[in-house]
Structure formats: structure tokens, C-alpha cells
Structure 1
Amino acid sequence: MGWRYHYEAASVLRDIFSSMKNRLMLVKHRFNLTAEGVHIQQRLTGCEVLGDGQPAVIMFTDSSDGQDADSRMYNMMHFTNASGDRWEIQWSTMKRMHFQMLYSNIYLPFCVRTLYHLVDYEKRQVAHRVRPRVCFITKPVMGGAQVTCLATDFYPRHINLTPLNNRPVHDSELTGGLVLPNGNGFYQVRTKMMVGDEELKKKHNYTCTASHLSLDNRLEVS
């Protein structure tokens, strides 16, 4: 999203932070919280697009020192304020109009745009396909060799990777196989098997085979 969106996001966050700071000061004054120590103001906020021509809804709930203070829900049809058990908030007509304008023109449109942006991002992530890079590694060890199939930089995470020895290798002969994050948004996995000296003398052709959503056919590296 463009610089206008990021500028608006910064403005909204600054306004929310200022509002929460002022609310905590009001709570401390209301309940005479003069003791030293840390006081915590929390806010849970979000929006919901109802669809079928119904208006979007935005809401928030404030909490002071772990106790509900007040909550607000707004859509284009009604605006409600629900006070917590600890205190009541008196709203003047001017203050109510101020919040209605704030929510109608800034908070609600911004939240809905953000929600659609995140939904679109998740859809693109679900449809994203990246082919694995597969390599075959052999390492001499006592009594034979360790054969490793390695697949890196693939997405999504589900993959079937196995070494073949002129035949499918049984799971009991394999170690590893756990899919891990690659540190760059993609994934990696490796499977290992031991090949004894007697098997090495037969000079079988070993193959790494990978099946993945990004591949039309199986990928094989011999």
C-alpha cells in the first residue's frame, strides 16, 4: 500500500496512543490512584464487515489496570457506549458528535481498508507457489555412507521428499523429514538414510524424489 496509507496509519496510531494516555490520566484522577507503581491502560479494537449490504461495524474496549472501563461500538446506523461496572462516563452532545465524526470519517474507513488489505494478502499467500531446490548429498561414515535428500526454499510447507534405491525406501530406514522454516518465508526439509558397505559395492542408483504443489510432476535428482 502507498505512502498515503502509511501516513494515515501513523496518524491513527498516534491518535489512539494519545487517547489511551488521556484515558489513563482520567482513570487515575477518578479513582485517586496516587500510589507509586505501574498503571496499565489497554485497548482492544477491531472492525467487522458484515456484507450483504449491511454496514461495517467498529468497536473497542478499554481496560485500566485489568478492569474493564468502557467500550464502544459504532456503525452507520447506531452508536453505543457501554460503561464498565466501575464508573460511568457522561457524554455531552458535542462529545458524542465528535466521536461520531471521528469514527465515520477516519477510524471505520481505515480499519475496513486494512481488513481488506490483510484478506487480500492472505489470499495471495495461500495461492503462492515456489518450487523446491533439491540436492543429493553423500557423506562417508564408519561402515558405509550417509545419504541425504535436501529440499530448500519451497512454499507452501507441505512436501513429500524421499530417497529411492531402485525401490521406495521404507520409513523405518529414514531419519529426519521434519519441515522447518528457512528464515526467509520459505521452508526446508531433509531426509537421511544409511547405506552399508555391502550395498555401496552394488553401486545402486540413488535418487531424491520430491512431490510438491508447485510441481506438475515429481522432481528427481540422481
Structure 2
Amino acid sequence: MALATYIIGQTPFPEFTVVLMLDDLQIGYYDSTTWKVVYRTNSDSKYYDEEQSDADTVFCDMYFDMKDRAFHLKDHLNHTDGVHVHQRLVGCELLNNDKPGQLHYWDAFGGQNMEEFVFDIEKRAIQIKMPWVVAWDQLKRLHKNFMYENVYHPICIKTLRRYLNIEKNNVMRKVKPRVRLMRKTLTDSQGLQISCLATGFYPRHINLTLFRDGQPVDDDQITGGEILPNGDGTYQMRKNLVISAEEVLEGHNYNCAMKHLCLDNKLGITFDAECGPGSFRLFVVITVVVLVCVAVPIVTALINLRRKTHSAGSVTKKSESHFISVPM
């Protein structure tokens, strides 16, 4: 993926920048200050001259196209003078058996999605998903088709294959999440805040859901939910839910469900209404569905799970936070 940014107006930043990503790993950077691309590989790489030539071809053309487009959009939307930002995200993909996939394209101006299309390499044509704000004429459309078929898509696939080979140990790794359940008493209301934290996972795609009595909690009741980087190249996500003192007494069951590429873990947290709001019992139910990672023997998993559950029960009496690490 190449994320390009063109800025209209005076800022301390370069007028035009491009960040080149392989999945969620940054592999290159380019801007209008030096007009040179900086890759993660050494500058004496045997591909250095070719990479610089490809960057000049793609990014320079992108610069002039985005500059022209940005001023058209500015006038079309009746924006006044000042700072305006036009961004473009373009990317290609490799399918199974190393087969080149489609090329995707998104344009945004002022933080609003403006245009979107897919270049289908088999049909050799642009398929529009969001209508153009400022339409192309037929000649420009033919030019765009030619450039995406013969220049952009081939260079993108070539770069993808090269850096996938170089960085495969990074982008293909799988790191299972650790899940932490925490509670905090709210002194002003005598309610509680439940926090569900998944951390240390890779890749970054994860689904973390909070449930009340088996039903998903509405998003407007939850805070957090952003995927944030850790310092070691893994990621974390935290979701928080505030429970009033009245809700605690009602004895609802609250669960945190997590889905990741390797594992599907479910953690349940229950408050016992009969014992009052000071009571806190943690019940852990872990369901492991191995999708990509190597499975371990069932007996070993059960033994480790029993140890983990016994350890979590002992910690409950001393601490209000719990780590669950699922064995592979």
C-alpha cells in the first residue's frame, strides 16, 4: 500500500509525502523535499537503481495528478484559502499461488472519502465503486487504464513480491494475544469499570467484543477500541465498560470475546448480586480454534488449561487483574 498526502497551504511539512507499507510494516518513504525514496534495504542494494527509477515513475506522476486533483476538489467544494489535505491510498495484493490480485484505489479530501475504484487486471479495466466528484473525460479515462495496466500494477506487484521475500519473517509471523481482565471501583458512584485488554498480538487485525448476558454491549456504551502499537512490533487493544452500582446488584453476566488469526478465546466475568457489589468472581472459559498455527495434542492443552485456571483462581483473591495466556 502507498499512502500519499498532498497539502495545499503553508505547513512545516513537505508538500507531498508517500509512506510505503507491506501489510502493516513500513518499507519505504518518499517526499517532495528530496524527491528520493528511502527503503529499509541498504542503499547499495542491487535493486537500488531500479527502485529509484520505479519511484520516480510512480510517485512523480502521482504528485502532479494529486496536485491537479486537489485544486479541482478545492474549487468544486467551494473551500476558501488555508490548509487543505488531499490523500490517496493505493495498493495491490498477491493471491494464492502467487497470483497477482486487483489494485485498489481510494481518494479523500479534507478527511472525506471522495473517490474509489478497483483496477481489475483480468478485465483490464477500472471498476468504479464511488462516483468521481470531478469526472474524467474519455481521453483521461483511457490514459488511466493504460497507466494502471502497464505501469502502476506491474510495479506494485514487483515491489510487493520483492519485499515480501525480504521481510517474510516479519510480516508472516503469528504471535498469540494475551488477554487481561481488570476492574476498578469508581469512588464517585460506587460503580465499576471493566476493562478488557488484548496485548502482544500480531498481525494487528483483531476483534474484541464485550457482552452483557450474552448480548453485545452497544458501542456507545464502550470507550477505547483503538488498535495501538507496542514497542516490540506487536499490538494491543483495550475496551472499557462502566457499570453502575445498580447494574452490579442486578447480577448481569459480562463477557469479553476475542477473535484473532490464530485463536478464538472467550473470557467471562461475573458479579454475584447475592453477595453485594463488593463480590467479584472470575470464570474463564477458553475455546481454542486453530486456524493457521500448529495444533498441540489435546491432552497437553487440557493439562495446561487446568493449571492456568487454577492459577487464575488463586490470583483472584489478591489482585484485580488477570492474564490469560493460551497455549499453542
> How many positions carry a matched residue from both structures?
126
Equivalence for 1:113:
158
Please tell me whether the aligned partners of residues 48 and 112 of structure 1 are also in contact (alpha carbons under 8 angstroms).
yes
Please tell me whether the aligned partners of residues 42 and 62 of structure 1 are also in contact (alpha carbons under 8 angstroms).
yes
Of 55, 61, 66 in structure 2, the residue corresponding to residue 9 of structure 1 is 55
CA drift of 1:7 comes to 1.1
Q: Which runs of 5+ in 1 are unaligned?
A: 127-179, 182-222
CA drift of 1:102 comes to 0.4
Deviations 1:30-71 (A, max 9, x none): 1221x2321010111110122458552111101000011101
Helix, strand or coil at the partner of 1:70: strand
Please tell me whether the aligned partners of residues 55 and 75 of structure 1 are also in contact (alpha carbons under 8 angstroms).
no
Distance 2:96 2:137 in 1: 33
Distance 2:112 2:170 in 1: 38
Q: Which runs of 4+ in 1 moved over 6 A?
A: none
Please tell me whether the aligned partners of residues 74 and 103 of structure 1 are also in contact (alpha carbons under 8 angstroms).
yes
Distance 2:69 2:91 in 1: 19
Distance 2:143 2:89 in 1: 21
Residues 6 and 36 (structure 1), Cα distance of their counterparts in 2 relative to 1, 3 Å cut? same
- Higher alpha-carbon Rg: 1
63-72 or 2-11, which deviates more: 2-11
The answer to whether the aligner puts 1:31 opposite 2:56 as a matched pair is no
State the Cα RMSD in Å. Answer: 2.6
Quote the sequence identity (%).
30
The answer to whether the aligner puts 1:64 opposite 2:109 as a matched pair is yes
The answer to whether the aligner puts 1:47 opposite 2:89 as a matched pair is no
Residues 55 and 89 (structure 1), Cα distance of their counterparts in 2 relative to 1, 3 Å cut? farther
Paired letter, 2:87: Q
Distance 1:37 1:111 in 2: 34
Helix, strand or coil at the partner of 2:95: coil
Helix, strand or coil at the partner of 1:56: strand
Equivalence for 1:141:
none
Please tell me whether the aligned partners of residues 12 and 107 of structure 1 are also in contact (alpha carbons under 8 angstroms).
yes
Equivalence for 1:132:
none
Which structure has more RCO (C-alpha within 8 Å, separation ≥ 6)?
Answer: 1
In the TM superposition, 1:93-112 aligns within 5 A as 93-112=138-157
Distance 1:12 1:53 in 2: 23
Helix, strand or coil at the partner of 2:82: coil
Please tell me whether the aligned partners of residues 46 and 58 of structure 1 are also in contact (alpha carbons under 8 angstroms).
yes
Helix, strand or coil at the partner of 1:90: coil
Paired letter, 2:155: F
Equivalence for 2:128:
81
Please tell me whether the aligned partners of residues 87 and 107 of structure 2 are also in contact (alpha carbons under 8 angstroms).
yes
Distance 1:74 1:11 in 2: 19
TM-score, normalised via structure 1 length: 0.50
Equivalence for 1:18:
64
Please tell me whether the aligned partners of residues 88 and 105 of structure 2 are also in contact (alpha carbons under 8 angstroms).
yes
Please tell me whether the aligned partners of residues 88 and 107 of structure 2 are also in contact (alpha carbons under 8 angstroms).
yes
Residues 8 and 50 (structure 1), Cα distance of their counterparts in 2 relative to 1, 3 Å cut? same
CA drift of 1:95 comes to 1.8
Residues 123 and 88 (structure 1), Cα distance of their counterparts in 2 relative to 1, 3 Å cut? closer
Distance 1:108 1:22 in 2: 22
